[in-house]
A and B are shown apart, each in its own frame.
Chain A
Amino acid sequence: DAEITQSPRHKITETGRQVTLACHQTWNHNNMFWYRQDLGHGLRLIHYSYGVQDTNKGEVSDGYSVSRSNTEDLPLTLESAASSQTSVYFCASSESSGGSYNEQFFGPGTRLTVL
């Protein structure tokens, strides 16, 4: 069965360190998304990609970067981790809809703690 996986599932790091969260999907979806989930804010979009070599900033992109070198993977990098980036991170993917509708499928999440 197709799926979307994230690793690691839990991560503790220190302020200032670079951290990369992995996201891998076997749906062969063109669209991939990274969200962070915080109490009182719901899910907020960090970065997204509509295909290989395409990346775009979401509403909370400062301090984060992504790269898309193949269809299956969209790693999220925190260039210099800050305590404000302690959160649960979700990756999602969807098929290009061409203007119709597009269900997003979510990964299990990564809980990141920055000390």
Chain B
Amino acid sequence: AQSVSQHNHHVILSEAASLELGCNYSYGGTVNLFWYVQYPGQHLQLLLKYFSGDPLVKGIKGFEAEFIKSKFSFNLRKPSVQWSDTAEYFCAVNPTGNEKLTFGTGTRLTIIP
């Protein structure tokens, strides 16, 4: 079975700092990759997704992620964070052809004004 690891459990940054959140997965076949965001008190929303093509994908609100197949990684980045980016971020994977998602444990991001 596939698994997803998010090693950063809680990240605290100041506004305008650069962000990189790690995500690694274990699965030998072709996968689809997702980052979801959960703002305080809200439901999960899709931030960005990768399923084929250019390994650098851009999402909403200035976020991007890079799929590095050799490293089984899909790290999330943002060059300059804002206070409104305070949220919990979840990486998820599903093997191509499988309708189920496997989520990582999440990274809580706190941005200090």
Contact = CB atoms under 8 A, between A and B. Distances in A.
Interface of A: 31, 33, 35, 40-45, 48, 50, 58, 90, 92, 94, 96-97, 99-104, 106-109
Contacts, number: 54
Interface string B42-54: 1111100101000
- Top 5 A-B pairs ranked by shortest CB distance? A101-B51, A99-B97, A42-B105, A106-B44, A43-B103
Interface size class of B (residues with CB under 8 A): 20 to 34
A108 B39 CA distance: 11
Contact of B99 (A44, A102, A107, A109): A102
Interface of B: 6, 32, 34, 36, 42-46, 49, 51, 90, 94, 96-97, 99-106
A40 B44 CA distance: 17
11 contacts: A40-B105, A42-B90, A42-B103, A42-B106, A45-B102, A48-B100, A90-B44, A92-B44, A101-B94, A106-B36, A106-B43
A93 to B, nearest CB: 11
Contacts of B43: 90, 106-109
Contact of A33 (B51, B100, B104): B100
